[in-house]
Amino acid sequence: MAQWTSAMGSTQLARLLASQQDRPVGTGSRRPPAYRALADGIRLLVLEGRVPVAARLPAERELAVALAVSRTTVAAAYEALRTEGFLESRRGAGSWTAVPAGNPLPARGLEPLPPEALGSMIDLGCAALPAPEPWLTRAVQGALEALPPYAHTHGDYPAGLPALREMLAERYTARGIPTMPEQIMVTTGAMGAIDAICHLFAGRGERIAVESPSYANILQLMREAGARLVPVAMAEGLRGWDMDRWRQVLRDAAPRLAYVVADFHNPTGALADEDQRRQLVEAARSAGTVLVVDETMSELGLDEGLAMPRPVCGFDPAGSTVITVGSASKAFWAGMRIGWVRAAPDVIRSLVAARAYADLGTPVLEQLAVNWLLNTGGWQAAVDVRREQARDNRDALVAAVRRELPDWEFEVPRGGLTLWVRTGGVSGSRLAEVGERVGVRVPSGPRFGVDGAFEGYVRLPFTVGGAVAEEAAVRLAAAARLVETGVGAGAPAAHPFVA
């Protein structure tokens, strides 16, 4: 990477380094030299994604003052990091974080497991559940009954079927966000929505701020569109966004777009609170950044009595800053490729006009199926089924992992479909590779980061429960033992998709 894309202040870096002191250290280990301890601390922060790749570090003198160490110590630590490939420097531009060029890490995810392999392999690659029946069948039957009038037309509806646009607008209005059908465009899934938004707002070379970690497929979509991704580390645990970092990145990097998942973040499961949402909208508006908010997980609150914060677009009444994306794929079924965009009418008109050169429109029959669900109460009934299934799976998976892998660390999210797990020092990439040999597929942490962060993590979705969840944990423990004994020393396999 030729240049830095964000900056890390000396006080902020000192605070992050101090937080590492709470972690356990092996008994009998000898304390390393001060410069080595500092270099190791910064390297670990980069690998865990808490300091983004391509973040400019403080000048040696500034960091020395913040840490109360000598400048020689900081200079030696920076030189060690440069030698190891975790730091790059240029006269006049300073020093910024990197990952070693000789150790490329996978940017892609896991392709869906072929149905014929389901009997022998436990698939934890895709955060998607089977269709909630009988609601899928009923929705398709309802769509077929409603189809004849549309069959007498050309069938092209670039903005979406008027009836579905009106229904989606009514749903936002019912949530306290007054919305007109002219503010809705129906898309082919959330991926289609975000692809259209990126092409409209962010040309090749434009900066897009993203949470770190973030949804693997969206990161890859943006990379292939030629965007320069600027990672912003999440707050520790499930506390949502680190607003100091967001304000700094929006101010210093001035990204054209920012992509966030406020509701049960993929992969961490974090839920941003109302104050964070308000602050982020204000910061994006001040920076001239368009905020793209992914709401695909918003209906998957799993804990009883959980009060959901107001939607992010509720803090943007003028509609000038926030574009909201929704989808049927997580709340209902991944095979129902219906998504939507809520934005200001002029943005919707621009997206619709640009669609003539992309996919023209979304399949009519699937739109009619979603419209049937929303009109009849079938949607809510199906979501209730989905929540119960995901809750049971979550609880089973959590119990199994805690029993079989007690050294792995995670916090249990209150909703969503994913568990973000620190693997106790085991390489996530090696674990993913060896896991396939013992019959379990799991995506490694680097697939959810930018330029190689999160090597010590894996994502576990709530897609299996009961005895299957228990067996998945047993196989993961077996894979971890093989990695620790050196069996998994090969290069990680590359896979093209993770849901």
The residue among 225 and 165 whose pLDDT is bigger is 165
| pLDDT confidence bin for 311, thresholds 50/70/90 | very high
Q: Does the structure show a pLDDT above 70 at 490?
A: no
Residue 453 pLDDT: 79
Residue 96 pLDDT: 87
| pLDDT confidence bin for 7, thresholds 50/70/90 | confident
Residue 26 pLDDT: 43
Out of 15-24, 89-98, 378-387, 399-408, pick the least confident: 15-24
Out of 7-16, 153-162, 176-185, 453-462, pick the least confident: 7-16
**274/314 Cα distance (integer angstroms):** 10
Q: Does the structure show a pLDDT above 60 at 495?
A: no
Rounded to the nearest 5°, which phi and psi values hold at 141? Answer: -65, -40
Residue 488 pLDDT: 47
Residue 393 pLDDT: 97
The residue among 154 and 272 whose pLDDT is bigger is 272
> In this structure, are strands 457-461 and 418-422 parallel, antiparallel, or unpaired?
antiparallel
The overall average pLDDT reported for the chain is 88
Q: Does the structure show a pLDDT above 90 at 121?
A: no
Nearest to 356 by CA among 76, 158, 488: 158
Q: Would you mind telling me the total number of residues written for the chain in this entry?
A: 499
What single-letter amino acid sits at 163? A
Extended beta strands in 68-225, E state: 87-90, 94-97, 122-123, 184-187, 207-212
| pLDDT confidence bin for 1, thresholds 50/70/90 | very low
Residue 117 pLDDT: 57
Residue 222 pLDDT: 93
Residue 266 pLDDT: 95
Residue 28 pLDDT: 44
What does the pLDDT average to over 384-400?
Answer: 96
Q: What is the CA radius of gyration of the chain?
A: 23
- If you write DSSP's letter for every residue of 331-352 in order, what string do you get? TT-TTS--EEEE--HHHHHHHH
Which residues face 123 on adjacent strands?
A: 441
| pLDDT confidence bin for 494, thresholds 50/70/90 | very low
Q: Do 221 and 208 meet the contact criterion of CB atoms below 8 Å apart? A: no
- In the three-class reduction of DSSP (H, G, I as helix; E, B as strand; rest coil), residue 440 is classed as strand
What does the pLDDT average to over 291-300?
Answer: 97
SS (HEC) of 39-93: HHHHHHHHHCCCCCCCEECCCHHHHHHHHCCCHHHHHHHHHHHHHHCCEEEECCC
Residue 116 pLDDT: 56
**pLDDT (tens digit, 9 = 90+) per residue, 321-368?**
999 999 999 999 999 999 999 999 999 999 999 987 778 889 999 999
**pLDDT (tens digit, 9 = 90+) per residue, 169-212?**
999 999 999 999 999 999 999 999 999 999 999 888 899 999 99
Q: Count Cβ atoms within 10 A of the Cβ of residue 224 and give its class: 0-12 exposed, 13-18 middle, 19 or more buried.
A: exposed
C-alpha pair distances (Å), 365 with each of 167, 329, 358:
16, 16, 20
Which residues face 209 on adjacent strands?
A: 230, 258
What single-letter amino acid sits at 55? A
The residue among 364 and 16 whose pLDDT is bigger is 364
What does the pLDDT average to over 276-302?
Answer: 97
The DSSP letter of residue 267 is: T
CB atoms within 10 A of CB 100: 11
What does the pLDDT average to over 242-261?
Answer: 95
Out of 11-20, 84-93, 305-314, pick the least confident: 11-20
Based on DSSP, count helices (H) and strands (E) in the chain, helices before strands.
16, 15
Torsion angle in degrees (nearest 10) through CA of 273, 279, 282, 284: -80
**pLDDT (tens digit, 9 = 90+) per residue, 75-110?**
999 999 998 888 998 887 788 888 776 544 443 345
Residue 325 pLDDT: 98
The DSSP H or E segment spanning 15 is helix 10-19
The residue among 353 and 485 whose pLDDT is bigger is 353
Residue 136 pLDDT: 97
Nearest to 473 by CA among 483, 460, 486: 460
Residue 105 pLDDT: 43
Residue 374 pLDDT: 97
Residue at token pair 């949607």:
379
What single-letter amino acid sits at 185? M
Residue 236 pLDDT: 87
The residue among 236 and 187 whose pLDDT is bigger is 187
What does the pLDDT average to over 142-151?
Answer: 96
Quote the distance between the C-alpha of residue 231 and its chain's center. Answer: 11
The residues, ordered by sequence, that sit 6+ positions from 229 with a Cβ below 8 Å of its Cβ are 207, 208, 210, 219, 222, 223, 450
Residue 107 pLDDT: 36
Q: Does the structure show a pLDDT above 70 at 317?
A: yes
Which residues face 207 on adjacent strands?
A: 228
Q: Does the structure show a pLDDT above 70 at 496?
A: no
Residue 119 pLDDT: 64
Residue 3 pLDDT: 65
C-alpha pair distances (Å), 258 with each of 57, 282, 489:
22, 13, 37
The DSSP H or E segment spanning 162 is helix 162-174
**369/366 Cα distance (integer angstroms):** 5
**143/150 Cα distance (integer angstroms):** 11
Q: Does the structure show a pLDDT above 70 at 458?
A: yes
What does the pLDDT average to over 63-68?
Answer: 92
The residues, ordered by sequence, that sit 6+ positions from 248 with a Cβ below 8 Å of its Cβ are 6, 7, 9
